[in-house]
Amino acid sequence: MKRRPMVRRLASDPKDAAPFPAPPPHRLDGRVTGRTLVLMRWIAISGQLTSLAVITGCLDIQMPILPVLATIGASVLLNVVVMAQRGSQPRLTDRDATFHLAFDTLQLTLLLYLNGGMCNPFTILLLAPLTVGAAILSIHNVILLTVLNQLCLAVIATWHYPLPWVAAHFQLPPLYAMGVWSGLSMASVMLACYVFRVAHESRRITDALAASQLALAREQRLSALGGLAAAAAHELGTPLGTIAVVASELAREVPADSPIAEDIALLRSQSARCREILAELSRKPEADGGPPFERLPLTALLEAAATPHRTTPAALSITVRPANGAREPVIRRSPEILHGVGNLVQNALQFAKCHVEVEAVWDDESVALVITDDGPGFSSHLLGRLGEPYISQRSDSSGHMGLGIFIAETLLERTGASVAFSNQRQGGARVEIRWPRRALESGDRGES
């Protein structure tokens, strides 16, 4: 079978089959605890007091002791207040975390203002609160913190007390001082952008993987219903048989013209109906001793995955094309395959104009599914980003999160499949899913 070049396409997740609530981008509360920020502030206070002791005691350098101690004392006071009030609310809101980091920025700025400003070698520490904020805050608060950091750098570059020095007042040349200010300003902006982007992508991947696990758990619960039905059928068989025997004896003893004869006949017919239903539930495949429908032919599994999505105007057809007379694979009823293939089928139905075809191809070495539609094809400007979570062709207002392809790929790769996306020459999308036949039939999961 010829394979077209593997290119990627964007697709939205199913509306009905996998309704996962998208985490609102502005809800970042609880990313950090008050205890963490308090601990960081205690470490900063310890470093500031140690530096003060070394400079004034060991190096015998004079500096404004009282204003410096008052500034450090403000941090100590804030820590004490937070430790006293944060017991019932260990996690900080986004606004509270911004306040804490803004306070640390202002406190450090005041210390630098009292001790040489931009000439102080500890000026680079102003980047620390901004780095922490970029990792845990929303984009709006990161921008506010970045603006505050820029203002603080500008203030200590323009106005500050002279740097305490043993011989005379130390002063950087104006051009060099401007270069230091420019470097720190650019570093703060670049660091905020870089750290925020990395943290944001990490959160998106984590949330998307959680959504995939929810989808898989739902499919596993549905798959477990078969075993539960078999167990119920087994347990109910004996008491239902007793009811049928008693009803038969009553029918023999009660005259035909008795007022309750009709009720007894109804009881017998309904008990017989219940026994037929339980027999259906407890029937097992001859080739397998497991729960009912645990292993299915590939075409039956495709029907099970596609049937819930036959609600759109587009027609859906399933065709088979065995190679070299190979027998049809009989595979485990895998929740990963059911949900992964179902997501891709529903995506094709949503974009198709009139028709979607699912073609099953197998030989002795591999098994492949090819899903094609006659829709507009894959979006060219997002080909390289397909597979990332929360990427969708649809607008955000439609309620789609763009998790359909991500979830489908994640689940199918857990079964050992490879997924390739391309556009057909005559128009429309093409998705190819391929497994090694041995791994698929044995039920072993490939490395994802």
Listing DSSP states for 88-105 in one string gives: T--BPPHHHHHHHHHHHH
Q: How many CB atoms lie within 10 A of CB 226?
A: 16
pLDDT surpassing 50 at residue 4: no
**Taking 80 as the threshold, does the pLDDT of residue 444 lie above it?**
no
- Burial of 397 per CB tally in 10 Å (0-12, 13-18, 19+): exposed
Strands 429-436 and 366-373: antiparallel
Distance (Å) of CA 48 to CA 51, 96, 381, 383: 5, 24, 52, 52
Q: What torsion do the CA atoms of 136, 139, 142, 144 make, to the nearest 10 degrees? A: -140
For the four alpha carbons of 220, 222, 228 and 229, in that order, the dihedral sign comes to: negative
Predicted TM-score of the model (pTM): 0.53
Q: How do strand 315-322 and strand 295-297 relate by DSSP bridges?
A: unpaired
Between residues 142 and 91, the one the model is more confident about? 142
Reported as a pLDDT band with limits 50, 70 and 90, residue 430 is confident
Spatial CB neighbours of 407, under 8 Å, sequence gap ≥ 6: 13, 18, 208, 211, 212, 215, 339, 340, 343
Query: What is the residue-averaged pLDDT of the chain?
Result: 79
156 secondary structure, DSSP code? H
CA atoms within 13 Å, Cβ hemisphere of 222 = 15
Instruction: Identify the pLDDT of residue 2.
Output: 40
pLDDT over 80 (residue 25)? no
97 with 136: CB under 8 angstroms? yes
Structure tokens at 340: 């992964």
Q: Which residue has the higher pLDDT, 362 or 85?
A: 362
Range with the lowest mean pLDDT among 51-55, 113-117, 275-279, 327-331? 275-279
Name which residue leads in pLDDT, 4 or 272.
272
Q: Region 121-150: what's the mean pLDDT?
A: 93
pLDDT at 84: 85
- C-alpha 436/C-alpha 58 separation (Å) is 72
Are the CB atoms for 349 and 356 separated by under 8 Å? yes
Question: Bigger pLDDT: 11 or 65?
Answer: 65
Q: Enumerate the β-bridge partners of residue 360.
A: 320, 369
**pLDDT for 110:** 95
Decide if 78 contacts 103 (C-beta within 8 A).
yes
CA 227 vs CA 137, 290, 293: distances in Å: 46, 9, 9
In the chain, what is the straight-line distance between the N-terminal and C-terminal CA atoms, in Å?
Answer: 25
Residue 111 pLDDT exceeds 80: yes
> Which has more pLDDT, 166 or 408?
408
Q: Give the range among 180-189, 243-252, 277-286 with minimum mean pLDDT.
A: 277-286
Angle between helices 174-253 and 139-158 (to 10 degrees): 160
Is residue 432 within 8 Å of 368, Cβ to Cβ? Answer: yes
Share of the chain above pLDDT 90, in %: 24
What is the pLDDT, as a whole number, of residue 272? 83
Q: What is the pLDDT of residue 386?
A: 63
Q: Which of 20-24, 29-33, 63-67, 425-429 has the lowest mean pLDDT?
A: 20-24
